[in-house]
Amino acid sequence: MSVNDARGPSVDSRTTDRKAKLAERLAHRGCNTRKGAVKVVIPWPDGLHVAEPAPLITVAGRLERKGGRELVARCPTRQDAQEAADWLVDRFSRLVPGLPVTAEVQAGGGQFLVVLATGRR
């Protein structure tokens, strides 16, 4: 394995104050977010046909904090939207295990919208 491989070790630390005594942590090079300097991204599968997919980490944070509903993708066909909805429910069950999420497919404007919902917080 190369030293620059994404699975290689890396120290994850970032601060604007040189005198700060923050604990450093060990992370994989590919997982190193430098404490928020690099946004974490969960990629959507290439097999799903979605337009304007929402960033899933942001969606998970909002649903966990506030609850409610959020539009996460647009799809050209109902079948594509249902596949995306099924994938999202499975993904969110592992991403935020304590958050019961349901997905709904709604027709609108010649396309199909995928909406995630959870109870109000």
pLDDT at 103 over 70: yes
Q: What is the reported pLDDT for 13?
A: 58
Domain regions of the chain by residue span: 1-38, 56-118
Using 50, 70 and 90 to split pLDDT, how confident is the model at 42? Answer: confident
Q: Is the pTM of this model over 0.85?
A: no
Buried residues in 81-111 as b, exposed as e (16+ CB within 10 A): bebbbebbeebbeebbeebebebebeeeeeb
Question: pLDDT digits over 44-78, tens only?
Answer: 999 999 999 999 988 998 998 888 999 999 999 99
DSSP per-residue string spanning 20-41: --PPPEEEETTT--TTTTS---
Question: pLDDT digits over 12-30, tens only?
Answer: 555 555 666 666 666 666 6
The answer to whether residues 103 and 59 touch, using CB atoms and an 8 Å cutoff, is no
